[in-house]
Structure formats: C-alpha cells, structure tokens
Structure 1
C-alpha cells in the first residue's frame, strides 16, 4: 500500500480529519484521532482504521516503521503530507508526525464482564471529568488485569485525545461501557454476585480490612463532588483510604490505583492480611 500524497489544507480529507478535534464532530462522525507512534503502534486489528497519516519528516526518518504500521492496520486511506498539514490535523502542539483516524467502538456490559476469564474486577467511574485521571485509571486497570471500566454518561469521553494519550494505549486493550443508568447497573452487578466497593471520605473502615478476593467493582466518584448519595447507598461497603497527613483528599486516579492493587495483592496472597 503506497501512501497518497496530499499537499493542500483545503483537501476534503484533511478538513474532515482536522474537524475530529472537536468533541461533538468526533462523536457525530463516530471516529477519533490517535496521535504518536507509540499510541498508533498499540492499535490492533480489532479497531477499524479509517486513515493513517504520516508527515514528510516522519516518513523520511521512520520509513520502515510507517510502512510496518500501514501493512498491519490496513487503513482505508494512507496519506503522506507536509509537516504543516499533519500539524493542522493533530491536537497536540508538538505532534510526532504520525496519526490515525479510527472508528469508535461501543462495548456492552457483557463485553466488559466477559473480557477476562478470571474472577471479575471492574472499575466504575461516576462523572469523572479530568481526562488525565480517566486515562491513568484505564492504564492502571489494564496493568492490573481488570475486566474493564464502567462509566456514567457524564464521565469524560474515553475517546478524548487527552484520555487516549494518558492511557498509553490501554484504551485499545480494555473494554469500557457507558451506563445510561448507574443505579440500575449497580443493582444488576450486585445481583450477579459482584461486590461494590466505594471509595468514600466517610467510609466505615479502611479498605485493607475488607475481603476483596471475590468478584468486585471499585466505585470512584467525581473529582470535586465525590460519589452521589444514590451511588453510595447502592454500594455494598464504603471504604476509606487512611490519610494521616494534611491533604484533604487523594487524586481520583491515585485512589483507584490503591484500591485496585489491594484487590490484586489479596488475590495473590489469598487473604486480606
């Protein structure tokens, strides 16, 4: 597959790709932009690549890598452009000279539960807004071997460019389901025998005193407001992370990492102790 040379900013393909930087346009088109060699390399055949773009500089310095990526992803269009045009499409100030336009995927709750054959471990996000937090939680859950993520509709879009970058490719490895009704989802999970563990400043006991060796889901609330009363009331337990210092609270991604990895610790040791 030889790349097609595109040299004009007025080219319809350039305009369409650049427009995807706008959240609404990205959702309407059902596509999102993946920037940088590392992120593009993490793409698998499960993801449909609409187009692959390489700049003159990248193509000149990394011809073999660009060719290997194109052969593996088999994009519908493979485009070679001046650096200025790729920069106009990219959402970062210093793009790395390669990006892909990829079709969004939508996962069901069953997709998430069936992702791993081991004891279920889920992370549930209620109205998380910071893309850096969301991407970091994705990366942490992926590293821990979690089944996937469940989030509310008000949670930051997981196809947001900053989320994709912060996840370091984990957004392509881990399924995530957007729940239309969090309360109904929590009730359904509990009926499936999955214990809901909610991080809460008013938690009843420290997280490490709970038995997390069985199927469980970690519930993380909004960065500022925390968990809603409704979500907290549907949890099996409210736990706190001890904070003997002066900080008022922990970063949401840090809290999620602490809880997820205590689940892993307990399961590897077979005990909460």
Structure 2
C-alpha cells in the first residue's frame, strides 16, 4: 500500500471525504515535493497538489501520483475551487498545523464545504518506516557520526563554540546533508549546564567539558546525536560527573527492549 492509499484508507473512519495537507513535513512525506510552497488535497478518488508558477516543473517531477494544480491568485481560492470540483462535502484539515487565521479564510472560501478538524492522521502512517526510510535514517545517522569523529580533532582551547558549530554544519553539508537538523548546540564550561546551550562566542578553554548536540537533515529525515568531550585534563569533580552520567546511559541501554515506552526506559 502506497502512502496515498494508506491515507485514503483512513478517510472513512474520520468521516471526511478528503484531507487538506498543510504541514510542511507531512506535505513532503506524502508528495516528495521539496519546495517551500504548496498544499495537497487527497480525496477518495484523486490526489491534487497545488502550488504556484515557480514550482510547477519541480512539482510535476517530484509529486508522483498527484495531479498538479497552479494557483494564480490566493492559494485559498484554488483549494476551494478544487475541493468543490471534487464534490467534497467534508474536508479534513490538520488542526495542529493550520493557523486560526488560515482556518477562517479557508472556511469562508470553501462554503458550502465543511472543514473538519483531524489530528495525527498522516503522523500515524509515518510511524511505520519502509526499508527505504530506514536506510535514509541510517545514512543521516552515519553523517552525524562522521561529523563527531571529525570535530574531535577540531575542538581545542582558544576557539569559540560558534566556530565549532560552523565546522559541524559545513562538514555535514559536505557529506550530503541539506543542513543540520536543528540549531547546533555547543556548550562549554559553565555553559554546559544549560539544557539547550546554542553555540555562542564563548571561547573554549583547557580543562573544560564541551557538550555537543547536533544532527543531519538528510533527504527529509533527521538524525540527532549528543556527546560530551573533555578539552585536555579535567578535574576529579568533572570526571565524577561524567562517569555518573555515562553509567546511567549504559544501564538505560541495557534495559531498553521492544515494546517499552520512553517513560519506562527513562525510569
């Protein structure tokens, strides 16, 4: 069952005739379109991707299984036109991804089609990864692993956290990543206590711990890796803290098994 068919199989239980896809991530998952503008409608009979003139050629190449529609005015108007042409009476929308303002505009344009809020529909399909997806995720993880190996020889006293972050970004892109998965965290010394210490101009000093949290955004999938390294010899106190966290991690890894929740693994 392909992704369009998997989504169609859920429309009856949702009691809708189609789904309007506005989430950037869900749009890419369903259509494979990598551009930045467009929405999709999947009904029981058709799948339509709507974008503007800039992306028509790209959408035709990437959005296989979708008819491509071009909006020349506001996209809301084209969505309404297509929904009415499909004879939809109830159109589901992603309530977690559509702003109140956009909902108001769509509601007015779509009359008499009724918008029905739904949640987690495509996300539930995304939970089960195909072999191809697993391979991409592994490749994304491999890029992050390679970046860590690279950065351990780059970190030294006298350079800034921001320089380390920039080097990680550059290296991952050189390995095929589109970008980092999120703002790279490089937190050294006293800043390593920050839960999300995005890289700063702080200079890394000898005897400090440096916490790195980064990942590669690769073919629509993200990896995420967190590591802490020592810059030269660290104090006994820092060594004790490091070893305590390491032992907790090792115990957690030993106890993790299929079927557990994240909360159970954390406990």
TM range (shorter): under 0.3
Higher normalized helix content (fraction of residues): 2
TM-score, normalising length: structure 1: 0.26
TM-score, normalization: structure 2? Answer: 0.26
